[in-house]
Structure 1
Amino acid sequence: MDESSRPHRIPYQKPYGHRRRWKHVPVFALAFVFGMSLALLAILSGGPISQLIPVAQAHAVLLRSDPAANATLRVSPTRVRLWFDDDLVPATSRAIVDDATGHEVDHRDGQVTRSKPREMTVTLPRLPGGTYTVIWVAQSTDDAHVTEGSFGFGIVGPNGTVPSVAGQQASRGTNVLESATLDGPIIVQALTTWLALLGMAFWLGGLIWETWILPPGIQRDPDLRVPAQAAARRFRQLLPYLLSMVLLANIGVMLAQEAELAGSWSGAFTPSLLRAVLFGSRFGFFWWMREVVVVATLGLTLFVSRRSSSSWRNAPQAAEVAGRVPATSPTSPAPPDWWHAVLEAMRRVPHLPARLVRGWRRCSWPGRIELLLAAALLVAFAFSGHAAAVANAELGYAVSVDLLHLLGMAAWVGGLLYISSVLMPTLHRLNLRQYAHMLAQGVPEFSALAITSAIVLAATGSLNTSIHLASLQQFLTTLYGWILAVKIEFFLLMATISAYHAFSLRPRLVQALTRRKEIGVDATKQALVTISTSGIAHTERHAAPESAEGKGDEEEISEQAQRLAERMEDWLRREAMLGAIVLLCVALLGVFAGTLAS
């Protein structure tokens, strides 16, 4: 058959208006109860393990003061001292003392003690009898978040009158009201933090997919190799815009924190505040690290794109390509039930380290540099988050847990974002068989990594809960605890959806494709037998296999397989959407961690 007579490939276009209800998820309620039980067990104290886990009071929390809150003194104090649980930024942390009329009565010298970065003092003149209010603002050097509060004390008058200070602005001393207020800077900080996390996860997920899951150019099956290469090209086209979003989002995070500290957006650009946060805190150091990594990666991406896309990854050796056998093929027997599908995915888990090593070896020098830059960005995010707000003795433990949590989130959620935003649009430009083949054989390569990431997230999430929540009451009564509950719920929904499409839809899709392939092979054999027994010319008998081969190359899939592939795509997109919501919860946890009272 000549090329002009072969059928033309028509790109697959998913029908518009395709909508399906969320069903086949009756275990959502059980999953939610199970996940909430894990969270509650994680924050219950009393066990021997809980004594080994450090507790992080988020941001800079006031521990005690002298005079104490609501104290009644017979002699005017010469100064007010405040002690916090975190190192403070000296240039932006301050305290004042007001009288009952709201006038400042101190010497206007409130400052952080130089030799004791967790102590703040303000000196006072000799004060007459009455009630006074200490108002403080503290900025943590670890995560740069701002907390504020106030408490009152009283001085006995000359005639022995005892002022009433009990309960005076006591609620503000817990830092809950101020930190939970949804003002402009808080909203902008939450959104920009979310965008930064989203871009970081998307970038790392794409790198993991190209290096670890389906590296472009090494698949022996063309139905996997062609989509993998096309998706890699699309990802490289989107990468500069993705990195620019992370760069701008990091700037937005910094400006929102400055506006929160200054009390207005105009004060966010004050040189003294910017200098204090960017160059006078640990958060500032890792913020610069985040920006430098993103700028370096952006420059590397533009440099490689100007040379040639083929130099981005080293070409695999012929022996390596020939020795790579796809784990699952549409012509191989499908798992008979969901349990065997689970076992099939679990058998891939021990091979993940070896696949990572092979992926690293296949990378060219720009690819290896990009992987190192991605790891550096992950470290910078961990050290500039609220996980770093712990004592120096427990900093390594807390940051290590958060680093693993971010890595698992980037691998799972970032991989889903890659599938929904890069791979699926690429598949829609190919024919229907390639579309279904990639969903049946290529996407399941991601299952082993997704299972491992889910286990890591469950374990590190429980440890993070133990670190940041000191009691069950905080989980039930603080905004931080409520957001954490929502995050756990969406995480469990993601796990349930992943199990449904990986262990139910995908085996049925493989069965449908296998059955269609077997029917086509049987029909070809029957045609050859009929031709040979009917006395057709020898040349026509030789033309029949070529025609059958050409038809097999372009064969369409069954209607059942098409429906299953579309349903699998729908659930993958929904899972990616839930992953973006989970990242939003992570951003909100960092912003509202100040609702955790000491």
Structure 2
Amino acid sequence: MTLKKSLSYTLLFWVLFLLATPKAAFAHAVLEKAVPAQDIHLQSSPKEITLTFNERLENEFFTLKVFDENGEEIGRTKAKLSVDQKQLDLKLPKLADGNYTVSYQVVSADGHPVKGSYIFSVGEGFAGKSKTVPIQQGDELSPLTSVGRIFYYLALLLAAGWIWWGAMARKQLVLLHELKQSHESIAHLLLMVFIIANFGFGAMFAGGYLDQWSLSNLIAMIIDTTAGLSWMITTILLLLGFVILFRNPWVDCVWVVLILGAKSVNGHAFAFEPRLLTVSLDLLHLLAAAIWAGGLLYILLYIKKFQEHVQKFIKLFSAAALISMVVLIGTGLISIFIYLPKIQYLLETRWGALLIVKTNLVLVVIAVAAALRFYLKKQDEGNIRRLVKLDFILMLSIVCIVGALTYLSPIPENKPLHWHEKVEGMDFTTSISPKVPGTNSFMVEANSHEEGLGIKRIELNLINKDNSDVAPIHVPLEVYDQGKYAHFMTDGSYLPFAGNWTAEVRILDSEDNETVYRKDFVVY
């Protein structure tokens, strides 16, 4: 295979790498339903708290607690996890009238810790007095987390790919003693870097898992969670690498597959069904990416000092390049089909914004490819090397974005609707909380600013914009205050499913003049 074809394949790889990695962006578990719901007012004490998540949770390191207005925990009963590991239930004693805070901490099957809290109220005298506290989903992306993830993925791909290519080119390495020593020295360096990245990665996760650091909690985290076991296996394989690698090419290849497999069960693929398929796809995807990344690094480091060897290496690299390309395309397309949510979500999340930035980087890669073809025809090795270095920098940029994407969710978070509007002679506020399919709190408050004019009635209707066959849903609001200031509210399951909705508020004043207001919103 010629150098020209090799460089062209290298550029094409990074385009495919970008297009085939959206699956890496799926973040942790999201709270889909809470009973009692956020900000809901109950006339009597609930018997239990039930939280339902969109994906499986780890069967250890979960807590669900309820606190009263004084910050005292209600009861000491431990929450129970359902058989499908998606639902938490906590039995409650009889609650006195007042406001209560629900606080939870879970670990999703992909290894992400998630914490959150919200408020509900019990008792007639407390209706509408609960200060709204949005449910927290733990989707904050810190710079340290991003850097740690970028460092980890670079170390993983480069170390695995470098060792894989050492096994594939073993016969050629044996004939060149200096090259063999250089390759093994760089491999040991990459292993050391990966060990540092792995320990940093583990420390970040432990910080999210553990409220209190102790040896017993640390051991339990490692042994009792999928993420902990994955980290332990990776650590053992890394340490064994210094002893067993570079002796037998088959052992080296098995080591690469095992260490990539350990990562595959500690990620988003492990949280989706069918798990065997998703984990296998992730493993194949990582292996293909490692082969490409390691091969590119190999060429960059040795193209100047061992030109003749690199020419032979490229011939070996070409067949693997083609296979890796097919694997990347196949696993990428299947993963998109399984994981990717609605396309319009791209414009509504930080995940989508970063993906658009990645797409722009692809355009730069294509421009570099065109320039490379131009200089390859002229056999201008100086410019070729500079462009290959630029291509490598673009790869690093893409991996940086991927590192951020792995901690973000492509699915927009449902946030309570707070709609405030000032009109002539009156202002009103409409709220729907937490604005999720299922049980919600609905409230409309209105103030009349005209002398002698009060508010007689307020109606709230919910109109589904996606399906005209669904008739408007009337929300039966209860009167809590009426007159110049009106306060209507209720709790119930009047948002049956996700989609595009319109809130229609009808306000009738004391002179029987009705005014209609509408507000569009989306339920995810």
- State TM-score, norm by structure 2: 0.66
Q: How does 1:46-195 map to 2 (within 5 A)?
A: 58-99=27-68, 101=69, 103-113=71-81, 117-140=85-108, 142-157=109-124, 162-165=127-130, 168-170=132-134, 172-173=135-136, 175=137, 178-182=138-142, 187-195=143-151
In the alignment, the residues of structure 2 paired with residue 463 and residue 145 of structure 1 have an alpha-carbon distance, to the nearest angstrom, of 23
Look up the match of 1:578: 394
Q: CA deviation at 1:191?
A: 2.9
- Give the one of 286, 310, 314 matched to 1:406: 286
Q: How does 1:385-400 map to 2 (within 5 A)?
A: 385-391=267-273, 394-400=274-280
Q: How does 1:262-301 map to 2 (within 5 A)?
A: 262=210, 267=212, 269-301=213-245
In the alignment, the residues of structure 2 paired with residue 131 and residue 473 of structure 1 have an alpha-carbon distance, to the nearest angstrom, of 38
Aligned length: 403
Cα gap change, 1:498/1:376 in structure 2, threshold over 3 Å: closer, same or farther?
farther
Q: CA deviation at 1:249?
A: 1.6
1:306-327, CA deviations, whole angstroms, 9 ceiling, x for partnerless residues? xxxxxx5xxxxxxxxxxxxxxx
Look up the match of 1:566: 382
Q: CA deviation at 1:197?
A: 2.1
In the alignment, the residues of structure 2 paired with residue 451 and residue 489 of structure 1 have an alpha-carbon distance, to the nearest angstrom, of 25
In the alignment, the residues of structure 1 paired with residue 27 and residue 173 of structure 2 have an alpha-carbon distance, to the nearest angstrom, of 47
5+ unaligned residues in a row in structure 2: which ranges?
1-7, 414-523
In the alignment, the residues of structure 1 paired with residue 269 and residue 412 of structure 2 have an alpha-carbon distance, to the nearest angstrom, of 13
Cα gap change, 1:250/1:230 in structure 2, threshold over 3 Å: closer, same or farther?
same
Look up the match of 2:378: 508
1:512-541, CA deviations, whole angstroms, 9 ceiling, x for partnerless residues? xxxxxxxxxxxxxxxxxxxxxxxxxxxxxx
The alignment status of 1:255 with 2:203, answered yes or no, reads yes
Q: How does 1:305-454 map to 2 (within 5 A)?
A: 312=247, 366-391=248-273, 394-420=274-300, 422-424=301-303, 427-428=304-305, 435=307, 443=314, 446=317, 449-450=320-321, 452-454=323-325
Q: CA deviation at 1:374?
A: 0.6
In the alignment, the residues of structure 1 paired with residue 368 and residue 317 of structure 2 have an alpha-carbon distance, to the nearest angstrom, of 14
| One-letter code aligned to 2:221 | V
| Contact kept? 1:59, 1:594, Cα under 8 Å | no
Q: CA deviation at 1:75?
A: 1.0
Q: Any idea what SS the aligned residue of 1:150 has?
A: strand
| Contact kept? 1:480, 1:596, Cα under 8 Å | no
Look up the match of 1:196: 152
Look up the match of 1:347: none
In the alignment, the residues of structure 2 paired with residue 444 and residue 507 of structure 1 have an alpha-carbon distance, to the nearest angstrom, of 20
| Contact kept? 1:73, 1:155, Cα under 8 Å | yes
Deviates more, 1:198-207 or 1:377-386: 198-207
Cα gap change, 1:573/1:449 in structure 2, threshold over 3 Å: closer, same or farther?
farther
Cα gap change, 1:460/1:104 in structure 2, threshold over 3 Å: closer, same or farther?
farther
| One-letter code aligned to 1:169 | V
In the alignment, the residues of structure 2 paired with residue 109 and residue 272 of structure 1 have an alpha-carbon distance, to the nearest angstrom, of 22
In the alignment, the residues of structure 1 paired with residue 210 and residue 321 of structure 2 have an alpha-carbon distance, to the nearest angstrom, of 43
Q: CA deviation at 1:567?
A: 1.3
Q: Any idea what SS the aligned residue of 1:179 has?
A: coil
- Give the one of 244, 251, 262 matched to 2:192: 244
| Bigger fraction of residues in helix | 1
| One-letter code aligned to 2:352 | G
In the alignment, the residues of structure 2 paired with residue 56 and residue 192 of structure 1 have an alpha-carbon distance, to the nearest angstrom, of 16
5+ unaligned residues in a row in structure 1: which ranges?
1-24, 44-53, 219-224, 305-311, 313-365, 510-563
Cα gap change, 1:214/1:297 in structure 2, threshold over 3 Å: closer, same or farther?
closer
Cα gap change, 1:237/1:569 in structure 2, threshold over 3 Å: closer, same or farther?
same
Cα gap change, 1:104/1:90 in structure 2, threshold over 3 Å: closer, same or farther?
farther
Q: Any idea what SS the aligned residue of 2:407 has?
A: helix
| Bigger fraction of residues in strand | 2
| One-letter code aligned to 1:243 | L
The alignment status of 1:482 with 2:358, answered yes or no, reads no
Look up the match of 1:470: 341
Q: CA deviation at 1:451?
A: 5.3
Cα gap change, 1:135/1:126 in structure 2, threshold over 3 Å: closer, same or farther?
same
In the alignment, the residues of structure 1 paired with residue 243 and residue 170 of structure 2 have an alpha-carbon distance, to the nearest angstrom, of 25
Q: CA deviation at 1:375?
A: 0.9
1:84-118, CA deviations, whole angstroms, 9 ceiling, x for partnerless residues? 2334335421122234x461342143434375633
In the alignment, the residues of structure 2 paired with residue 214 and residue 596 of structure 1 have an alpha-carbon distance, to the nearest angstrom, of 49
Q: CA deviation at 1:256?
A: 0.9
Q: Any idea what SS the aligned residue of 1:592 has?
A: coil
1:170-216, CA deviations, whole angstroms, 9 ceiling, x for partnerless residues? 3x35x2xx32242xxxx444333333322222233224434547951
Q: CA deviation at 1:262?
A: 3.8
Q: CA deviation at 1:586?
A: 3.0
- State TM-score, norm by structure 1: 0.59
Cα gap change, 1:192/1:298 in structure 2, threshold over 3 Å: closer, same or farther?
farther
| Contact kept? 1:98, 1:105, Cα under 8 Å | yes
Q: Any idea what SS the aligned residue of 2:94 has?
A: coil
Q: CA deviation at 1:255?
A: 1.2
In the alignment, the residues of structure 1 paired with residue 167 and residue 366 of structure 2 have an alpha-carbon distance, to the nearest angstrom, of 24
